[in-house]
Amino acid sequence: MKPPPYRLLLISELFLPTKGGTTVWYDAVYRRLGGKEVHIVTAAVPGAVEIDRDHPNSIHRVGLKRVWWLKPESLGMYLKMLGKSLQVALRHRLDAVHGARALPEGLVAWIMARLLRVPLLVYCHGEELSTWGRGRKFRTMLWVYRHADANIANSEYTLEEMVRLGIRRETITLIYPGVDTERFRPGLGCDDLKTAIGLQEGQKLILSVGRLVRRKGFDQVIRALPDLVKRGLDVHYALIGIGEDWDMLTDLARELGVADCLHLLGHVSPEDLPRWYNACDVFVMANREINGDTEGFGMVFLEAAACGKPAIAGDAGGTAAAVVEDVTGYRVDGNRTEPVANALFRVLADPSLANRLALSGLERAISEFGWDCVAEKTRALASRPEDRVYTAQ
């Protein structure tokens, strides 16, 4: 029997075409949860018109720029999100309200859920638990999670941190992010990409994808390159992403004498991203914790696995859910160059090992992390009778 319409409101500052793992998550899940009866209130950004025109859900855009003369500066964002959400609620019946994060979306979502007397679900991605200090913003975040009817944690690490901070275990459901296994798959042509960076036959390609910030550990990969060369490997390193560390990474490669091996690619097209995964021999993001900022999960590891590539992750944060030690790849101390270099050498120098890890990662990505599976877990969470009952908190 066909499930009943899933009439809900998702409030999310971030949504396509804005880049990032969470925007991919929300797009992939909510388009699978329903059609126009699923409403998404989000920021007006360049390129949104093209996305919204063909999107199966109802997208409602609002300008969310901070205003310097307001105290706090984000007050205008909250009011605009709330105003647009109220407009949606007046025109459409809603069974639930979802907040993409505790702040700013979750607080607005809490107001909406209590006004409508429907359940509230809030996502937690991990990074916010360790990077928002211990001031008013942090306390408000915890208040939102404690007053939600249900919370989604993206990894065991995130779940345990939430419990440690006093959020009731029974309100938290562990749902991993997923991957589009039709888009990210092995066998995609990539010879032109290799030619574009001058990769020759027999040379190995290391790939990273992510925002160019220190905690991602891209600098440690560059520091590992001279050691790999000394051990007899002919390697190149392609890095997809933009961010504040661009100049630092360029200068570091030059100082270490490996500038010719580094290829900073910036943004690549959505069509080319899966092909770059296919082009590489190993994927790496040697993430580490810096000033409390850490990796909550790491969807890029799943994308690499779905393309049949072994992965190397940092051992900080929630990456254990994405990379299984000695099964789909390795987790190393991203604070030190030596473990990063050793893991890269181990995979690149042993084709049979690389193949074993790649096959295991591919099987796991297909069986456990398809977006249909993630969407069904989300639907089940909101469809249980006890979760449809409003809980006054």
pLDDT in tens, 28-66: 999 999 999 999 999 999 999 999 999 999 999 999 877
Range with the poorest average pLDDT among 74-78, 220-224, 252-256: 74-78
Q: Give 384 or 144, the one with higher predicted confidence.
A: 144
Check residue 383 and give its pLDDT: 58
State whether 64 and 152 are in the same domain. Answer: yes
State whether 276 and 150 are in the same domain. Answer: no
Section 160-174 average pLDDT: 96
Count of domains in the chain? 2
User: Is 63 a member of any domain?
Assistant: yes
User: Is 184 a member of any domain?
Assistant: no
**Whole-prediction pTM value?**
0.84
User: Is 1 a member of any domain?
Assistant: no
pLDDT at 76 over 90: no
State whether 246 and 359 are in the same domain. Answer: yes
User: Is 235 a member of any domain?
Assistant: yes
Outline where DSSP puts E strands in the chain. Answer: 8-11, 38-43, 58-62, 96-99, 120-124, 150-153, 172-174, 204-209, 235-240, 262-266, 282-285, 311-314, 329-332
User: Is 287 a member of any domain?
Assistant: yes
User: Is 186 a member of any domain?
Assistant: no
Supply the CATH number for residue 282's domain.
3.40.50.2000
State whether 260 and 297 are in the same domain. Answer: yes
Q: How confident is the model at residue 292 (pLDDT cuts 50, 70, 90)?
A: confident
State whether 330 and 218 are in the same domain. Answer: yes
State whether 170 and 195 are in the same domain. Answer: no
User: Is 375 a member of any domain?
Assistant: yes
State whether 377 and 315 are in the same domain. Answer: no
3-class secondary structure, 30: helix
Structural domain including 33 reads 8-178+370-388
State whether 138 and 216 are in the same domain. Answer: no
Check residue 73 and give its pLDDT: 62
Section 288-306 average pLDDT: 91
State whether 338 and 307 are in the same domain. Answer: yes
State whether 141 and 280 are in the same domain. Answer: no
Q: Quick count: other Cβ atoms within 10 Å of Cβ 30?
A: 23
Cα–Cα distance for residue pair 173/171, rounded to 1 Å: 7
pLDDT at 333 over 60: yes
Amino acid, res. 115: L
State whether 41 and 85 are in the same domain. Answer: yes
Amino acid, res. 189: G
State whether 253 and 304 are in the same domain. Answer: yes
Query: How many CA atoms lie less than 13 Å away from 333 in the CB half-sphere?
Result: 5
User: Is 16 a member of any domain?
Assistant: yes
